[in-house]
Amino acid sequence: MASVFTRAASRRLPTFVHAKRCIHSTPAVWARKVGQDELFVSRHHEEEVPEITAKVKKLATHPPRNERFSRGPGGRRVLRPEVRRARFDHLIDHVKERTGRSPEKPPIVRDTVWNHLFDLAENAEALERVVELFPRWTDTGRAFKDVHAEQFVKRCEELHCPLLALKVFGDHSKYGFPLKSLRAAQHLLHSLHVEQPLENTVAASALYGVYGLPPLATDPLSTALLLRACYAHKPRPTKHAKVVARSLLPQLQATLKAIPSRPIPTSRAERAKQEVKTQLWLKWSLTRVIKPLKKDGQKVDWLEDWLAQGARSAPEAPSAAV
C-alpha cells in the first residue's frame, strides 16, 4: 500500500497553460472601431489606420493589371480614366511633398517624374497644375533638362494650350524652366504659327536670343514657320506681317542652298523620326507660302526649285502626333 502512495506522489502533475484569448485587432477591425467608438481606440491603433489609407491609395493608382487598361483608338491599350487620374493626383502630391525650400519629406524625386506628369495630364487645367510645381523644383536646387522642355512643348500642343508653354518660357524668373533645346523651340513655333496671332509667334522667336539658341534666321525650319505665320491668317496679311516676311526671305534662300531637299517617306514609322518630321514641317510650311509670296510680288523660283528637287506632291498638313 505504501508503495502505491509513493508512486502516486512521484508522478508529475500535468501543467495546464491557460492561454489568454486575444481579440482580433487587425488594422481593418480597428478602422471600423474608429467609426463606432473613438473613445476606446488606443494611440497604437490610431497609428495603424494610415496604413490602410496608404494601401487604398496604392490600390487606386496600381490596381490589378487586368483592371488598369481599356482599349483605345486602334485597339491600343490605354489606362482607364480613373486610374490615370489617380496616378496623376498621386504624383502631384509626391512631388509637392518633396520639393520646395522646406520639403515635408526627403527631396528624393527622379527627373523622369516630369515626363510621367506631362503624359498623365488629360487637359490644359491638369497641365497647369504641373506648371505650378516648376518653381518648387528649382527651389530644391534641381534643374530641368532639354528633354523636359521638349516633352512639355509637345504635350502643350497636343492639349491645345501652346500659350501655356509660351508663358512658362517667357517668365524664367518665376518658373525657372529654360528653353535651351532647338527642337523644343521649333516645336513651340510649330504649335503657335497657324492658330495663334502673329505676335505670339514673334514672341516665341524672340526667345531664341534670350536663351542663347542659334539665331532664328540660321535655322531653315524656324524661319519657314515664322514665314508661314506671316501669311497664315485671313482674310489677308497685315502690313507688319508682310514686312516681317520680306525680311526673312534673303537668309532663308541662303540657308536652303546649304541643305538638300529629300523626298518625304510614306511609312508612318519613318515619318515619326525627328529628322523626317523636321523635313515634313519645313516642306509643308514652304509649300503654303509660295502663293501668298507671289501675290506680294516676291520672286519664288528659287523656292519652287528647292521643293522640286526631292519633293513628290505637297505633303498633307502635319500634326503634333506625326
At 282-292, the pLDDT tens digits run 999 999 999 99
Q: Work out the pLDDT band at 154, boundaries 50, 70, 90.
A: very high
Q: Does the pLDDT at position 235 exceed 80?
A: no
Task: Quote the cell numbers at residue 107.
Answer: 527631396
CA dihedral 311, 312, 317, 322 (to 10 degrees): -80
pLDDT in tens, 10-54: 555 444 444 444 444 444 443 444 444 333 333 333 333 344 344
pLDDT, tens only, 82-139: 888 999 999 999 999 999 999 988 888 999 999 999 999 999 999 999 999 999 999 9
For 309, the grid coordinates are: 528637287
Q: In this predicted structure, what is the pLDDT of residue 134?
A: 97
Counting other chains too, the contacts that 211-219 makes at CB distance below 8 Å and 24 or more residues apart are: 211/169, 211/178, 211/179, 211/180, 211/185, 212/180, 213/179, 213/180, 213/182, 213/185, 214/182, 217/248, 217/251, 217/252, 217/255, 218/251, 218/255, 219/182, 219/186, 219/255
**Per-domain residue ranges of the chain:** 71-213, 215-314
Contact between 226 and 244 under an 8 Å Cβ cutoff? The reply is: yes
Give yes or no for residue 69 having a pLDDT over 80.
no
The identity of residue 199, as a single letter, is: E
Cell of 99: 520639393
Q: Please give the model's pTM, rounded to 2 decimal places.
A: 0.74
pLDDT at 1 over 60: no
Residue 266: predicted pLDDT: 79
pLDDT greater than 50 at residue 271: yes
Alpha-carbon distances of 248 from 105, 116, 183, rounded to whole Å:
52, 38, 20
